[in-house]
Amino acid sequence: MTNKAFLVRDGLRSGSTLVINSAGGWVGNTITEVFGGTAQTTYAIGDILFASAPNTLSKLPKGSAGQVLTMGSPLLPSWAANAGLQNLFDEFTGDTGSIVADDTNQKLIIAGGTGISTVIAGSPVTLTITNDSPNVDQNIWLNIDADSGGPVAADTTSDTFTITGGTLITTSISGDAVTINWAASLNDLSDVTITGGAGSPSLPTIGDTLFYDGAAWVNLARGTAGQVLTMGSPLVPSWAANTGVQNLFDEFVGDTGSIVADDTNQKLIIAGGAGISTAIAGSPVTLTITNDSPNVDQNIFATVTGDSGTVTADSTATNVKIAGGLNITTSATGSPQVLTVATLADIVVDSVDLGVIGTFTSSTLTTAATTQVAIGSFAIATYRSAEFTIQAVQGDNYHTTKLLAVHDDTTADSSEFGTITMPSFFGSPAVGSPANSGVQATYAVDISGGNLRLLATPKTTSSTVFKVTAQLTKV
């Protein structure tokens, strides 16, 4: 077929000619958009046509991998990075290996391994992971080793783990339990050879400790009192001073004696005494102190003192007896008991203290000789002067007199007055008067041993009773 020429009418494209050659190829001019063409003469792989203006087509070259077609500004399509989609995962990690999930072109493939298969199907999509050998057990151990003959890899489910007895050893299985029995027995540690500290065999003694040093059992000799078992350097046990324990008490103090609590070997013994017992028992430990004689009273007083004599109240068997004296009675009645002290007559006292002024005192003495004797006295450091009233009685003869006395700390002086006798006469007795009647004694004072003494010289060797009352005036 030869070239054919067609005349294009006006209004389509002025002056254009359509030519088709014998090979069927187009050899005419470019057809524009308004005539149904593209106004393009060449294309590259991946190009896209778009209207860049009214009645105008343009080519958009292909973008790069991972980009998406985006409506840009002005409102024309363009290729750009996919900023709108988030990664589903940050990272993919398997039993081995991992990869960062930073590219939307990446694929997550869940593949089966040995004995495992995976299937994805359905809507919504379901992933099924199947164990193709469900009865295949996993290995419990990587290797099995023994004192000799090992190790052997535990890499097949057909491996058998056999626990076999040896010399004096038997094994048995009952249910899920394996029992290893020793057919012999040790009488004591003397049946075992122990490596000593110097590497030579030795037998343990009392208090020794056995430890394993990584190669053999080693005999550690006992430590000294108060030491503790400490992990030393290298890491083997040894005995050392106990530097980490604080004393529980600073000092132990008893009713008698005390001791400083500065030694962890000290013991606190709480022992019972008379009528007391102690017991320690239980967990936590309880100390019980018991009064074995609960009805034994405690001493109320340290000592009991009377007008004369003192006794120490140091025994619960000691009795305090408040007894009556001259014209005094005592009684204890009721519960609680009430002690009643009663008088049968006027209360008689030997001395009455008048405070800062003086004291009233009394004394009595019986003589049977004519030698001078002291019938009364007072301390010169306490009293300066005194007025004595003296009564002397010898049979039916009565003699009373008064005597004033004073001292200057060195010398004493006196003056007698108010003398009366019965029968009433002075000097020698009248005819017919009783024997020894009249004055029964003569009186004087002196200072001796820090006291002013009232001295009497009796008239007769017959029994004469002197009774003296004194009003003493203080210094």
pLDDT at 181 over 60: yes
Instruction: In whole angstroms, give the CA distance from residue 468 to residue 361.
Output: 8
**Shared-domain flag, residues 423 and 406:** yes
The model's confidence at residue 460, banded by pLDDT at 50, 70 and 90, is very high
Using CA atoms, how far residue 383 sits from 340, 370, 403, 406, 449, in Å, is: 37, 29, 16, 9, 14
Cis before residue 151, ω within 30 degrees of 0? Answer: yes
In a domain, 370, yes or no: yes
- pLDDT at residue 30, rounded to an integer: 82
In a domain, 54, yes or no: yes
Which token pair is 83? 């900023």
Instruction: In whole angstroms, give the CA distance from residue 28 to residue 37.
Output: 13
pLDDT higher for 108 or 203? 108
Which amino acid type is present at position 219? N
Q: Which of 91-95, 126-130, 372-376 reaches the highest mean pLDDT? A: 372-376
pLDDT at 468 over 90: yes
Please state the rounded mean pLDDT for residues 437-452.
94
**Shared-domain flag, residues 404 and 339:** no
- pLDDT at residue 15, rounded to an integer: 45
| Location of structure tokens 């005592």 | 330
**Residue 231 CB-density burial (10 A; 0-12 exposed, 13-18 middle, 19+ buried):** exposed
In a domain, 414, yes or no: yes
**Shared-domain flag, residues 361 and 338:** no
Query: Could you tell me which residues are beta bridge partners of residue 391?
Result: 400, 467
Please state the rounded mean pLDDT for residues 287-299.
70
Which token pair is 299? 């001493």
Please state the rounded mean pLDDT for residues 269-298.
78
Question: C-alpha angle 415/421/426, rounded to 5°?
Answer: 80
Which amino acid type is present at position 138? Q
- pLDDT at residue 471, rounded to an integer: 96
| Location of structure tokens 């009377």 | 306
What burial letters (b/e) apply to 325-335, b meaning 16+ CB within 10 Å? eeeeeeeeeee
> What distance lies between CA 301 and its chain's CA centroid?
40
**Shared-domain flag, residues 164 and 53:** no
Instruction: In whole angstroms, give the CA distance from residue 365 to residue 347.
Output: 21
Q: What is the pLDDT of residues 211-226, one digit of tens each?
A: 888 888 888 888 898 8
In a domain, 87, yes or no: no
- pLDDT at residue 152, rounded to an integer: 82
Please state the rounded mean pLDDT for residues 391-414.
96
- pLDDT at residue 149, rounded to an integer: 74
Instruction: In whole angstroms, give the CA distance from residue 188 to residue 167.
Output: 20
- pLDDT at residue 192, rounded to an integer: 53
pLDDT at 10 over 50: no
Q: Which of 160, 182, 204 is the last residue of a domain?
A: 182
CB 265 within 8 A of CB 225: yes
Which amino acid type is present at position 109? I
pLDDT higher for 453 or 99? 453
Please state the rounded mean pLDDT for residues 299-313.
74
Instruction: In whole angstroms, give the CA distance from residue 172 to residue 337.
Output: 84
Q: What is the mean pLDDT of the chain?
A: 79
The model's confidence at residue 362, banded by pLDDT at 50, 70 and 90, is very high
Cis before residue 134, ω within 30 degrees of 0? Answer: no
**Shared-domain flag, residues 60 and 172:** no
**Shared-domain flag, residues 365 and 338:** no
**Shared-domain flag, residues 449 and 398:** yes
**Shared-domain flag, residues 355 and 339:** no
- By residue range, what is the domain housing residue 316? 280-348
Q: What is the pLDDT of residues 184-205, one digit of tens each?
A: 665 555 545 555 444 444 566 7
Q: Is the dihedral of CA 293, 294, 295, 300 positive or negative?
A: positive
Of all helices (H) and strands (E), which one includes residue 454? strand 451-458
Q: What is the pLDDT of residues 314-329, one digit of tens each?
A: 776 667 777 777 667 7
pLDDT at 235 over 70: yes
pLDDT at 89 over 90: no
Least confident stretch, 71-75, 142-146, 197-201, 337-341: 197-201
Please state the rounded mean pLDDT for residues 120-131.
84
- pLDDT at residue 199, rounded to an integer: 46
**What percentage of the chain exceeds 70 in pLDDT?**
76
Query: Could you tell me which residues are beta bridge partners of residue 198?
Result: none
**Shared-domain flag, residues 306 and 379:** no
**Shared-domain flag, residues 386 and 406:** yes
In a domain, 134, yes or no: no
- pLDDT at residue 13, rounded to an integer: 44
Q: Which of 50, 80, 110 is the last residue of a domain?
A: 80
In a domain, 65, yes or no: yes
CB 416 within 8 A of CB 332: no
Q: Which of 296, 323, 348 is the last residue of a domain?
A: 348
- pLDDT at residue 258, rounded to an integer: 79
pLDDT higher for 3 or 14? 3
Using CA atoms, how far residue 381 sits from 361, 374, 404, 407, 474, in Å, is: 16, 19, 18, 10, 9
Cβ contacts of 349 within 8 Å, gap of 6 or more: none
Which token pair is 451? 């006291």
**Residue 412 CB-density burial (10 A; 0-12 exposed, 13-18 middle, 19+ buried):** buried
Q: Which of 284-298, 363-377, 427-441 reaches the highest mean pLDDT? A: 363-377
Please state the rounded mean pLDDT for residues 133-140.
64
112 SS3 class: coil
Instruction: In whole angstroms, give the CA distance from residue 136 to residue 123.
Output: 32
- pLDDT at residue 455, rounded to an integer: 97
Across 48-125, the runs of DSSP E, i.e. the strands, are 48-53, 56-60, 68-71, 77-80, 91-93, 98-100, 116-121
Looking at the structure of the chain, the number of domains it has is: 4
pLDDT at 16 over 60: no
CA atoms within 13 A on the CB side of 194: 20
**Shared-domain flag, residues 329 and 313:** yes
The model's confidence at residue 340, banded by pLDDT at 50, 70 and 90, is confident
- pLDDT at residue 17, rounded to an integer: 52
Least confident stretch, 8-22, 441-455, 458-472: 8-22
In a domain, 37, yes or no: yes
CATH of residue 452's domain is 2.60.40.1680
- pLDDT at residue 3, rounded to an integer: 52
Most distant pair of Cα atoms in the chain: their distance: 225
Cis before residue 429, ω within 30 degrees of 0? Answer: no
Give the pairing type, strands 152-153 and 169-174: unpaired
Cis before residue 336, ω within 30 degrees of 0? Answer: yes
The model's confidence at residue 273, banded by pLDDT at 50, 70 and 90, is confident
In a domain, 427, yes or no: yes
pLDDT higher for 87 or 426? 87
The model's confidence at residue 462, banded by pLDDT at 50, 70 and 90, is very high
Query: Could you tell me which residues are beta bridge partners of residue 353?
Result: 359
Which token pair is 224? 């000294």
**Shared-domain flag, residues 62 and 9:** yes
Which token pair is 49? 């046509």
